[in-house]
Amino acid sequence: MSIAAEARPVPTADWVTIEDLYRNPFPIYQKMRAEAPVHWVPAVNRYMVTSFEACHIIEQDQEIYSANETGSLMKRAMGHSMLRKDDPEHDVERKSYGGVLRPRAIKETWNAIFQENSDKYLAQLKAAGPGADFIWEYAAPYAAENLRRIIGFENATQEDLQRWSQTMIDGTGNYADDPEVWAKAEKSSAEVDAAIDEMLPRLRQHPNATLLSGLADMKIPLESIRANLKMTIGGGLNEPRDVLGVAVWALLSNPDQLAQVLAQPARFTDVFDEAIRWVAPIGMYPRQVTRDTVLEGMALPEGARLGVVLGAANRDPKQFEDPETFNINREKKPHLAFGGGIHYCAGAWVAKASVAAIALPQVFDQLPNLRLDPEHPAVDAGWVFRGMVKFPVLWDQK
């Protein structure tokens, strides 16, 4: 008897479109998850996994569910980074990042830089005046400049990092195979390569606390350094930018919870954790099945290309009560917004420090009566990556 003899057949969700996923994937995830934990989705040419348990199982078993997917969009857009490798290759490259992104370095080096950058871009937002866009005047440049300093791109601007990040991320999510998206991603990829190649010899002569400096003398192939830094430019910018935007949006939409946080600022950590669960900035990533298997009762063939849908897993009612609601007072349970297992996000501590400890408290302290603009509603979008794309805000000027 085959391993899948008593497994359920995987249903086909031929009603799912990329356009609908981009606009609002959550009702789609609800419908899919209620029917089965896995669906074949022709529009994205892969099996989409939507239950918390199934996504968790995948994260813990790299032998059956390999990160090294064939035909990977991320490999095409950014090169073969550690995110698309399994151990032992992944472990070697993960360790090459050393302690640059860990709590001690954040405390000793990066927190002061985060504060400096928050001051700078909050002043920029204030100068733009009420009605300015919170994402593009503050959250995006703040996250980009933090990342520029951490990586060590002395030969680039935060605007460069924003452009590189967005165009390469668009490539990793280019399931529609748009040639214009590929052209922009390839252009940015080449620019990043050139910037890295210029900085490495400079940092060998003048080492510092940055990622590039730490990698300069590592016995790791140049192509791996390039790919890993491109991956870092993607996730390291969009995750803090998008969780910051979503957190502010959620608080302004829930004034009772905002009042709780303003009375107890230590609870901005709870805001961060709930915001990143509620709207996972990285909503889906791929895996590939290495042999015939059964996942939560669903038969999957060898070679099956999966989409691990964190945006759905983090709203699974079997894991979270009333999961569609933003609620900082919910019972604390593990979420998957930073992934799990060996691929748990290396930048998780940076994101939490820069957003929960610095940006959120300062934003609400320095923008009195911060509120939504009723004439110009905020807009969130995306499914492979999701965040605020338009976010005008109002506040009382002192």
| CATH number for position 175 | 1.10.630.10
200-228 pLDDT, tens digit each: 999 999 999 999 999 998 888 999 999 99
Residue-level pLDDT at 1: 38
244-277 pLDDT, tens digit each: 999 999 999 999 999 999 999 999 999 999 999 9
Exposure string over 224-255, b if 16+ CB within 10 A, otherwise e: bbbbbbbbbbbbbbbbbbbbbbbbbbbbbebe
Bridge partners (DSSP) listed for residue 307? 48, 286
Task: Give every CB contact of residue 121 below 8 A, 6+ residues apart in sequence.
Answer: 137, 138, 141, 142, 145
Q: How confident is the model at residue 40 (pLDDT cuts 50, 70, 90)?
A: very high
Residue-level pLDDT at 5: 61
Does 281 map to a domain? yes
Cβ 184 vs Cβ 192: under 8 Å: no
Q: How confident is the model at residue 398 (pLDDT cuts 50, 70, 90)?
A: confident
Structural domain range at position 210: 18-394
Residue-level pLDDT at 343: 83
Instruction: Say which amino acid occupies 235.
Output: G
Number of domains in the chain: 1
Compute the distance between CA of residue 123 and CA of residue 127 in angstroms, rounded to an integer. 6
Does 9 map to a domain? no
80-136 pLDDT, tens digit each: 999 899 998 888 888 888 889 999 999 999 999 999 999 999 999 999 999 999 999
Does 1 map to a domain? no
pTM above 0.85, yes or no: yes
Does 209 map to a domain? yes
Give, in order, the Cα–Cα distances in Å from 231 to each of 31, 50, 151, 393. 32, 24, 12, 31
Give, in order, the Cα–Cα distances in Å from 323 to each of 26, 28, 277, 285, 327. 11, 14, 9, 21, 9
Does 219 map to a domain? yes
Instruction: Say which amino acid occupies 230.
Output: K
Q: Tokens in use for 369?
A: 């009566």
Does 53 map to a domain? yes
